[in-house]
Structure 1
């Protein structure tokens, strides 16, 4: 099975906390990401949002578009309204060659609010779950027909955070609703990436390889902190620099035919964690892990 290695611009500049790397030009992100060895980037707020401009800026650095985050509000609007809202983003991804859309329900979310600890994250009633999963089915079917798979991003501080949440979402949606497996977000919520990969391997459309420093995780939980406080404290890092064991899950994905991107997503304070240093480290470590898991790595 062949995969490609990509990176998210959060290493350089943070969309949720703009004070982190806010003055870093997109050119620096792309130049250093390519220098580190990566073949593609996910979108961030500094990227152009028209297909021609985006293709040019990525092409100038010999980079591909991996995917791009979409903030869904299916708990606040109808599936038909969501489909209408998603069209520009969908066309951007399609025309620039991305095959998966990072899709997250952000209604009621608190991950961007530094004043709210993750323990106060929203939970759903049974009626909410029905509304969300039925809406995801409709939107997932639409995206699949357009040639771009939904990759649902379970995320700390949102309505789908825990392993139980992921299982409920997957068990109550059709195959058109794919999953983004994010190691850091799942472990941070007390979940087991291998268990999720074992149960839903055929539906995993995208993978974020976010590592965590477990001593910081323990302190973060004990002090009941916000998601953004965790970022500032150094909770997240690149693969192989923290304490998550990636290899068993990557091996399982390879054995079950995963083909696509493995993405380094490790938001840190760039003044503390030099972006190029950590991009190089992330590429080197993830490349070695992917090879150990038996993947062929395409450029």
Structure 2
């Protein structure tokens, strides 16, 4: 069994609000990730979109490509149409040497809209889950047929946010659809990350590790803030998310429920780097992940 520690560049430069960390060069991000002992990186908007170029850029810093986010619109189109729309992403992923597609439904999502509070996030009706799950399963199978694994990313501000949403997604999809367990989105969305790991271990194909500042989460929920205001923090204050070891999540408990998992665990911290400098936070997060993996007996 092999577990590799990767990172998403969102701790350096934000993808949803690109001016956050916008003045941070890609080279600085990759240099600092290497210094923090990161073994691979997920796709960020400053990285090459050509697979071979992306692979080469990361290799020059001693890292592999992990995966990239793909926004599905299966509420609007068929699985066949989605697969055609994903052709460029598929080519990039395969060309860069990865086999994971991180998928999330964004056709009606609000997480990138700073004007909308999270209470306005979209929801699927009970009668909509079966057809949506069937389309997601077909899309995942089409990806599997070309050697790629779809890992669905539950996410604040989308139709798959709460524990009930995750349960419905998993109940109405088949095994070609894997779950991306995101500890931070799970906890903020009302789920126990360790409980999700236990319930869906056989279908978890990818793991994102970010922590939650409990007091800030409660403040954001009480004030009904937007997702972006919540993660970036108001004024000089820090936001809801931080790196493992700096919040409320018990990572050893999560990893104990992932016995037998092989693959990437990816460090994330959606923060403003001017308030929370990326390198020291990355080092703290990697150290905590390693300690928790060791405590859980996964190293």
Q: Give TM-score, length-normalised by structure 2.
A: 0.96
List gaps (5 residues or longer) in structure 2.
234-238
Q: Show the 5 A alignment for 1:102-181.
A: 102-181=102-181
Which residue in the other structure is 2:292 paired with? 289
Q: CA deviation at 1:101?
A: 1.2
Aligned counterparts of 2:210 and 2:73: Cα–Cα separation in 1: 25
Aligned counterparts of 2:298 and 2:86: Cα–Cα separation in 1: 33
Aligned counterparts of 1:221 and 1:275: Cα–Cα separation in 2: 25
Aligned counterparts of 2:225 and 2:86: Cα–Cα separation in 1: 32
Aligned counterparts of 1:94 and 1:291: Cα–Cα separation in 2: 32
Question: After alignment, is 37-46 or 190-199 more displaced?
Answer: 190-199
The reply on whether 1:258 has 2:261 as its aligned counterpart is yes
Does the CA contact (< 8 Å) of 2:243 and 2:267 recur in 1? yes
Q: CA deviation at 1:99?
A: 2.3
Aligned counterparts of 2:230 and 2:288: Cα–Cα separation in 1: 23
Aligned counterparts of 1:41 and 1:229: Cα–Cα separation in 2: 25
Which residue in the other structure is 1:241 paired with? 246
Q: CA deviation at 1:122?
A: 0.4
SS in structure 2 of the partner of residue 196 of structure 1: helix
Does the CA contact (< 8 Å) of 2:243 and 2:285 recur in 1? yes
SS in structure 1 of the partner of residue 174 of structure 2: coil
How many residues were matched structurally?
294
Which residue in the other structure is 2:236 paired with? none
Aligned counterparts of 2:46 and 2:217: Cα–Cα separation in 1: 30
| Aligned with 1:275 (options 259, 274, 278) | 278
Q: CA deviation at 1:218?
A: 0.8
Q: Deviations over 1:229-280 (max 9, x none)?
A: 11112110000011111111211102xx110000011110100001111111
Which structure's relative contact order is higher, taking Cα pairs within 8 Å and 6+ residues apart?
1
